[in-house]
Amino acid sequence: MTPAFTHWNEFFAMGGYGLYIWLAVALAWLPLAVLILHTRWQQRAILLTIRRRHARGQRMRNAPGREATL
């Protein structure tokens, strides 16, 4: 069994089509990376909103005068 490429330069050149191949790889991975980052940012924002609402609910339940209205 012989390797397809004997040197790293040959691997990156891909038989003269390296520019197109690596550009396609980058254009495939870039949206995936952006999607992952956006999802993590959105998750943190949602969790922050939940924490704020929970804290507000706790403050409202513990507010003075709250017992008289129940």
Predicted confidence (pLDDT) at residue 65 exceeds the cutoff of 80: no
Q: Nearest 5°: CA angle at 13, between 8 and 17?
A: 155
Predicted confidence (pLDDT) at residue 68 exceeds the cutoff of 70: no
Name the band, by pLDDT with cuts 50, 70 and 90, for residue 18.
very high
Instruction: Please report, rounded to a whole number, the percentage of residues in the chain having pLDDT higher than 70.
Output: 93
pTM tops 0.85? no
Candidates 33, 10, 31; CA nearest to 21 is: 10
Number of helical (H) and strand (E) elements in the chain, helices listed first: 3, 0
Per-residue confidence (pLDDT) for residue 5, from 0 to 100:
84
Q: Where are the domains of the chain?
A: 26-61
pLDDT in tens, 21-41: 999 999 999 999 999 999 999
- Dihedral, CA of residue 37, residue 40, residue 42 and residue 46, to nearest 10: -170
